Structure 1
C-alpha cells in the first residue's frame, strides 16, 4: 500500500494490476523481433538496439554516420524493464542486432555466454575514462566500448532548503537527517527524500560510502554482516522510519517530476538523464529553483554508485567491420557531446570533457563524483545479487525484518547465488 497522504489528482498513485500471460508476451516479442530482423536484413541496414533515452534519441546520431558511409542503420528503442530478457531471447534465437547497448552490469554476463565480440582494437577505448573502461572489461579484456557514464548525485529544491535555512544539502549523514527533520517540521504533510524501494542504487551508494566490502573469499560469498554494512542499512532505514521518505515503489509514483515540482519531496538522488526531464519541464520547475550536489556520506561525500552504458557488437554479426565503424562513430567525442546536449548523458570519452559545454556549473558535482567511483564486484551474478539485496531491504523497511535479520538473509541469498562460482574458484577453474 502507498503510505503517502491522499492526493487523488497528484503524482503518487497506486497502480492498477494487470494480469499478463508470460509465455504470450515472450512469444509475441520473439515474433516481432524476428520480423524486424528480417526487414533490416532485406534493406541492408545495420541493426542497433538501445534502451531508455539512448534508444529514443539514437536516430539523431545515425544521420551523419549514414551520410559519411552510405550505411543505413535501423534503430530500435527497447523498454528498460524488458531489455535484459529481450536481449537474452534474441541471442538464444540467433537474432541479436549487429550493435547494441548494454548497461555496465550486463557486460560480463553477455561476454560469458558468448553473445558479444571482444573489442578488436585498443584504439576504440584509448580515450575512455578509466572508471568507465574498467566497468566494460571482463577479466582485463575489453568486451564493450563505454558510451556514457552516470555517477549518482542528489538533485534538490533550492527554494525548499532555503526556507529551512540551508543553501545546499549537508555533506554528512547526521547533517542530512537534521536538514530532513527541519524540512519535515515546516511541511509535515510532505516528504523530504525520494528513495524508491525497488531502485537499490541509493542504498548501494550508502554501502560504498560507509566503506562496506560487499563480497568476500575471492568474491564467492556475501559480506553484509559487517559494521560498515550495518551502519549503511541503519541510516537507510531511518529515512523511512522517521517519515522522511515514502515507502513506495517506482510503480506507485505516477509522475516523480511533477512531485518534485510540487514539493512533495525536496531531495532526489538520481542520474544525469534527470537533467533532460528538468529541462523539458522548466515551466513547472524553473532552473533557479533546483540544484545538484554530491550525495552525503557518513563523514562527507565518498564513493557512490556509478553505471555506464556501453556499446557491444554481437558475436554473430555478419558485418563486423561496419558494426565496429558504427561503434567508433557513436562513441566519438562529437557524438557523446551531442548526446550530452540532447539527453544529459555524460561522455565516457576523456577528451570530450574539455569541450566548453562541459563547463556548465550544474555538471561540476558529476565531474567531482567521477573522481571517486564505486565499482561493483566483477562477478556476472551481480545483477541478481542487487535484486536480492533490494528485495530484502524493502522487507526490512516495511517492518518484516530487523537490520541484523536482513543482513543475514542477504548473505544467505548471495551465498546461494554464488555457489557455482565458489565451486569453480575452489577447483581452480576460474580466478
Structure 2
C-alpha cells in the first residue's frame, strides 16, 4: 500500500504522456497505514558503467554518511548494454534519478526530452564553478543552449611515442606540428629502422576525428548537412592517407595487431594516438627497465599544437526523478574536488576540474601533464543523436581509401550523400519546427 501520493511530481512529465492523478488533501483510508504527505522517504537510483560502477559503492560512502535517512541504490551497467538500457528505461518510465552517460549520447536523450536542464541549479550553487572545468569538456554538456550534464570522466586522444627511437632519429622532443610529424616518421624509417612508425588502426575513427577537429569549420552543420568535402576534413584526411601512401602506417586493423604494447616495446611502431587509460597500461605491460623508452605529448596540429576530441562521460539528472533536490545533492557531491580526487585514486579516471589535478598530484606526472595540456585544447563532436553512425561512415570511407585507394573527391561526395541521408529526418523535423512544412 502506498505511503503517500505526494511523492509524485506536481506536473505531468513532458515526455511520458501519462496523466498524473491529483494528490488528495487528505487520505482517510490510509491514515492507519502511515500516510506521509511531505516526509516521504528519499530513495535515489544511480546508474554507472564499467569500472566507475565498481568503485561507486566505496566512493559514495561519504554521501550515505551525510544523508543517513536517504536510500541510495547504485546499479552497475555493462558498457555494451548501457545505451539500450537507457532507451528501454525511458520507454518504460523506469529511468534512474542520476546516471553516468557517455557524452555522445546526450543529444539523443535531449531529443527525447529525458534530461533535466541544470542551469538554474548551477546558478544557485557555489560548489560547481564552471570556470574550474576544462572548457571543451563543459561544452559537450550544452545541447541546443541548455546545460544537461556535468563532466565526470575525461577521455581525449594524444600522442604516445617512443622517446628513445625519436632521439635516435635526431629529434629531441615530440613533433609540434604536422610537417615535423611527417619529418619524424620519415627519419624513424630511415635512421632508426622503424618499418612503420605510425599506427592508425583502420577500425578506429578517433585518430582521424581528432585530426579533423584541428581545423576550424563544421563536419556537420546544425541544419543537418554534411561538410566532409570541406577544407577541414579534406586536410585531415590528406594527412592521414599520406601516412599510408608513404608506408609510414600499416594498412591494418586493431585485430591484426595482437598486442599494441608489445609491438610498441619491440619498436615496430613509434607513434600511437590513444587515450588516458594507456598511461596505466604502458606502466603495467612494459618492464620496469623499459619505462624510460616512452612518453606522451599533445597532438601536433597543422601549424602548431593541435586540438583533440572532448570525450568522456557526464552526470545527468532525469526529468522523471521524484527527488530532484536529492538528485542534485548527489551530483554536487560527486563534483566535489576531494571526491573527484578519490575517484581518480579508485578508478584511474582523469578529473574534469583543473583544481583536482593539483589535489590528486597529477601535475607531478609527466604523462598526465601531457593530457592536462591537451584538455585545454579539445573540441566537442557534433551534438547529433546520429553522430556515432556518422563517425563510423567517416572511418569506413577513410579505411577504404587507405586500403584500396581511389578518388578522394568521389569518396567524399559519396560520404556526404550517405550522411545527408542519415540526417534527412532531422532536416524534416527542423523544417517543421520552423513552420516551413505543413
Q: Please give the TM-score of this superposition, normalised by the length of structure 1.
A: 0.80
Which residue pairs with 2:101 in the alignment?
Answer: 102
- Between 1:159-168 and 1:47-56, the stretch displaced more is 47-56
Deviations 1:274-310 (A, max 9, x none): 2232333353674322211111122222222121310
Q: What are structure 2's unaligned runs of at least 5 residues?
A: 1-41
Contact 1:157–1:290 (8 Å) recurs in 2: yes
1:373 aligns with 2:378: yes
Which residue pairs with 2:312 in the alignment?
Answer: 308
Which residue pairs with 1:85 in the alignment?
Answer: 84
Distance in 1, matches of 2:242 and 2:332, equals: 46
Which residue pairs with 1:147 in the alignment?
Answer: 152
1:390 aligns with 2:395: yes
1:107 Cα offset (Å): 0.8
Distance in 2, matches of 1:284 and 1:195, equals: 27
SS at match of 1:389: helix
**Distance change (3 Å), C-alpha of 1:175 and 1:369:** same
Contact 1:50–1:100 (8 Å) recurs in 2: yes
Which residue pairs with 1:40 in the alignment?
Answer: none
Distance in 1, matches of 2:52 and 2:407, equals: 40
Deviations 1:246-269 (A, max 9, x none): 333344444333333333322121
1:343 Cα offset (Å): 4.0
- Between 1:71-80 and 1:139-148, the stretch displaced more is 71-80
Which residue pairs with 1:164 in the alignment?
Answer: 169
How many residue pairs get matched?
Answer: 387
Deviations 1:211-265 (A, max 9, x none): 343134x442111112332221111112223332233334444433333333332
Which residue pairs with 2:209 in the alignment?
Answer: 204
Contact 1:258–1:284 (8 Å) recurs in 2: no
1:155 Cα offset (Å): 1.3
1:83 Cα offset (Å): 2.9
SS at match of 1:159: helix
Which residue, 173, 177, 182 being the options, matches 2:182? 177
Distance in 1, matches of 2:84 and 2:250, equals: 30
Which residue pairs with 2:62 in the alignment?
Answer: 64
Distance in 1, matches of 2:435 and 2:88, equals: 27
Which residue pairs with 1:25 in the alignment?
Answer: none
Contact 1:100–1:311 (8 Å) recurs in 2: yes
Contact 1:273–1:343 (8 Å) recurs in 2: no
Contact 2:194–2:270 (8 Å) recurs in 1: no
1:328 Cα offset (Å): 1.8
Which residue pairs with 2:285 in the alignment?
Answer: 281
**Distance change (3 Å), C-alpha of 1:427 and 1:88:** closer
Distance in 2, matches of 1:339 and 1:285, equals: 30
Which residue pairs with 2:25 in the alignment?
Answer: none
1:260 aligns with 2:264: yes
Contact 1:195–1:202 (8 Å) recurs in 2: yes
Distance in 1, matches of 2:50 and 2:423, equals: 30
- Between 1:223-232 and 1:49-58, the stretch displaced more is 49-58
Which residue pairs with 1:126 in the alignment?
Answer: 129
1:74 Cα offset (Å): 4.6
Q: Please give the TM-score of this superposition, normalised by the length of structure 2.
A: 0.79
Distance in 1, matches of 2:90 and 2:262, equals: 39
Which residue pairs with 1:41 in the alignment?
Answer: none
SS at match of 2:60: helix
Which residue pairs with 2:143 in the alignment?
Answer: 138
**Distance change (3 Å), C-alpha of 1:169 and 1:330:** same
Which residue pairs with 1:27 in the alignment?
Answer: none
SS at match of 1:105: coil
Contact 2:165–2:192 (8 Å) recurs in 1: no
Q: What are structure 1's unaligned runs of at least 5 residues?
A: 1-43
1:194 aligns with 2:222: no
Which residue pairs with 1:418 in the alignment?
Answer: 423
Deviations 1:397-422 (A, max 9, x none): 22164322221122111211221222
Deviations 1:140-180 (A, max 9, x none): 22211111333321111222222222222211222212211
Contact 1:62–1:73 (8 Å) recurs in 2: no
Distance in 2, matches of 1:46 and 1:295, equals: 41
SS at match of 1:48: strand
Contact 1:276–1:343 (8 Å) recurs in 2: no
Distance in 2, matches of 1:51 and 1:406, equals: 37
Which residue, 269, 273, 276 being the options, matches 1:269? 273
Deviations 1:30-80 (A, max 9, x none): xxxxxxxxxxxxxx9744333344334333312322333335655444443
Contact 1:173–1:296 (8 Å) recurs in 2: yes
